[in-house]
Amino acid sequence: MRFLKSVLLKKSRYKPIMTSKMPASYSIVVESKPSAIVSVFEQIRSKLIDNNFGKDDIFAIHLTLEEAFLNAVKHGNKMDPSKKITVEYSVDADKVEISITDQGPGFKPDAVEDPRFGENLFKPGGRGLLLMNSYMDMVKYNPEGNSVSMIRYKEKPYLTKNKDQQG
């Protein structure tokens, strides 16, 4: 995955001392059916817990994975059971990176209407991309539109002490 590599390379360039501790990236190929995300999320979740990600982060990543994976199964692979979905991810102490690639023809994310306005507010579907964009810090598609790469940085702890002092 081009984006993931460039980020990792960048990191190694700025922090050469950390190279040996660079997180492993994992690549999993799964069947194109909605329930296949369950075991993938469990794997990612255990890595998030190992890296001290909090409940809000885990909720956000869980929701994003569900939305992105279902899009890949339904709209990308069009429920074709012979197709596959590739999930690549890496987790370190600061961030989680995930990419999901289907075997469909791709789509144009800019052409998807905003579900928050007008008639769209009353339509049953069309909210998945909005949620992904809201819960992740970066969401990017490849030019073909069949692969989405996402990053979320770990939520910083809430500094209660400072707030009390201010308040």
Partner 1 sequence: MATIQPNIGVEYAENATIVSFTDEKILEEKDINSLQESIMSVIEQTEQINLILDFSNVKFLSSAVLGLLIRISKRIYEHNGRLRLCNIDPKIYEIFKITRLTKTFDIYKNIESATKDLSQAD
Applying CB under 8 A, which residues contact partner 1? Answer: 34-35, 56, 59, 62-63, 66-67, 70, 115-117, 121-125, 127-128, 130-131, 134
Residue (of 139, 15, 3) closest to 71 by Cα position? 139
Judged by CB, which is closer to partner 1: 66, or 92? 66
Judged by CB, which is closer to partner 1: 32, or 90? 32
Nearest distance in Å: CB 62, partner 1? 7
DSSP state of 146: S
Nearest distance in Å: CB 18, partner 1? 33
Residue (of 39, 43, 41) closest to 65 by Cα position? 41
Judged by CB, which is closer to partner 1: 3, or 41? 41
Tokens coding 55: 């409940």
Tokens coding 131: 């949620």
Judged by CB, which is closer to partner 1: 7, or 130? 130
The Cα–Cα gap between 66 and 132 comes to 9
Nearest distance in Å: CB 125, partner 1? 5
Instruction: Collect all residues with Cβ–Cβ distance below 8 Å to 157 and sequence separation of at least 6.
Output: 54
Distance of CA 24 to the CA centre of its chain: 17
Nearest distance in Å: CB 17, partner 1? 38
